[in-house]
Amino acid sequence: MVTVLEANQTEVTWYIMSNQSQDVQALVAVFPISGNAPLIGGCNLEFPLENDANLLVSYTTTKNVVEFQWANTPLGPRSTPRQIMPTCEDQVYQDLLEYSIHVRYLPGNNLSPERYFEALRKMLTPEDIIQNGVKVSSMTNRDISQKPEFLMAAYPGTGVVYTMVVTAKTPTGIILMFCTGAAWLGLCCVLGVVGVFLSFLGHRFFKTVLLSVTVILSVVSATLWVVMYEFLGVATISVLLSGLLAGYLFSSIVFYTPFGNLSYWNRPFNYAMAFTCGVLAIPVFILAYTKTLNILSCSFVGTYLIVLVPDMFLSSGMKYVVLTSIRHSTDISYVNVLNTAPFTIKEIILTCVWFLLFLLGAFIQFYRDWGRQDFPSSRRRCGRRVEPENDRVPARYSVDPEEDSGEDPDERSPLLRHTVNGHHRDRALIPPS
């Protein structure tokens, strides 16, 4: 709440009221703002207060909308008469103001009042915000169509403090708490078991991997993909599936970083094309080495599934690497949402574990399959070699089996037995092509 002090005014009184019937805790912080700083919320047109410096937050399960009001011109020193002159239409002055949003995340799955007030104390003044918060994005009021709002990604199970700073002088903030996703723990454990299988035995059971991976898409496509490999026996086409899955995870990682918050990706076409290029990056560069591509893809995806298990119990942000990409594909307006995922000590440890497991899984699979056939042969191709379609021998090439007479060979006995017209019998059974 902003209160403008008149000249020679030394006291101000605020009243706090709660609608709850029980006692509640509150944190009250008062600090002065220089008269040369912009008046936050001075150009208020929608919020209840005359000079409303609050942040209004509306949220869904996937994103938060943080709304604010444009700032007004500085009031000047208190020694001079003060008159608030709105300059919202003064584009020259509005161009000088920059609105930046800062975030600070609370420890995952810890929504206690102590953590709540501790986070607020660390985000009160501009100095505290710069030291303890992370600047996510900024905007100006240069474009008339620009709305005073920020779209932020939501991460259930994690509390977050949003604070806005105008020209690094006057802060205003709000804190949000989200419920956890405990209902997904069972599914996450199942995915962890699948991840162990993919990481260490994925290439060994190649056809099982094809079926398991494509089940994510649909049962029909899974069956068709395995049947296609059985009839064609072309490993390059089949390996492309696991390579694309690894490429999807790689592209999700790239756009999960601050690189994904660039304003260039606010257009759906730009984002879709760039994300597709990221998906194709891994298959295009390694597709010539099909065995290597399959082993690396299985280890890369499988170890990520393993890491998801402790991620769910620790309430860290590793799961949002893929969830953010899924949100982009299901919500066309999500391209304007800023990705502000936390990257604390828990995420750092899980990332290191992911990398080490990836190296271990790839090494074990390369070692197990060293010197073996790159891919299992399809049954149809094996059948063609063992039981050819033209295995019927014409009558002119048929030979009655020779009975062993039991006599000792002499100078008149043929040197090569079991022959037909000078050719070995086994070769004579199959006509020349």
Q: Mean pLDDT in each 10-residue stretch from start to end of the chain (433 residues)? A: 74 82 82 74 76 82 85 64 59 76 79 81 83 85 76 82 73 51 52 61 59 58 65 70 88 91 87 92 86 87 87 83 88 83 86 93 85 62 50 51 59 62 48 50
Q: In this structure, are 298 and 153 located in the same domain?
A: no
Q: In this structure, are 87 and 172 located in the same domain?
A: yes
Q: In this structure, are 171 and 190 located in the same domain?
A: no
Whether residue 22 is contained in a domain is answered as no
Q: In this structure, are 226 and 364 located in the same domain?
A: yes
Q: Report yes or no: 96 and 168 within 8 Å, Cβ to Cβ.
A: no
What is the distance, to the nearest Å, from the Cα of residue 60 to the centroid of all Cα atoms in its chain? 19
Domains held by the chain: number: 2
Where is the domain boundary, 342, 359, 379?
379
Q: In this structure, are 337 and 225 located in the same domain?
A: yes
Helix (H/G/I), strand (E/B), else coil: 59: strand
Q: In this structure, are 227 and 172 located in the same domain?
A: no
pLDDT of residue 290: 82
Q: In this structure, are 189 and 335 located in the same domain?
A: yes
Whether residue 94 is contained in a domain is answered as yes
Q: In this structure, are 368 and 320 located in the same domain?
A: yes
Whether residue 28 is contained in a domain is answered as no
Q: In this structure, are 157 and 120 located in the same domain?
A: yes
pLDDT of residue 2: 75
Segment 278-285 long-range contacts (CB within 8 Å, at least 24 positions apart):
278/247, 278/250, 278/251, 278/254, 279/244, 279/247, 279/248, 279/250, 279/251, 280/244, 280/247, 281/247, 281/250, 281/251, 282/243, 282/246, 282/247, 282/250, 283/240, 283/243, 283/244, 283/246, 283/247
Where is the domain boundary, 176, 198, 231?
176
Q: In this structure, are 307 and 242 located in the same domain?
A: yes
pLDDT of residue 141: 77
Whether residue 138 is contained in a domain is answered as yes
Q: Which residue range forms the structural domain that includes residue 129?
A: 56-176
Where is the domain boundary, 379, 401, 420?
379
The whole-angstrom separation of Cα 361 and Cα 296 is 9
Whether residue 38 is contained in a domain is answered as no
Tokens of 280: 């194709």
Helix (H) or strand (E) holding 384: helix 379-386
Whether residue 14 is contained in a domain is answered as no
CATH code of the domain covering residue 153: 2.60.40
Whether residue 396 is contained in a domain is answered as no
Q: In this structure, are 153 and 299 located in the same domain?
A: no
pLDDT of residue 130: 83
pLDDT of residue 177: 46
Q: In this structure, are 297 and 315 located in the same domain?
A: yes
Whether residue 17 is contained in a domain is answered as no
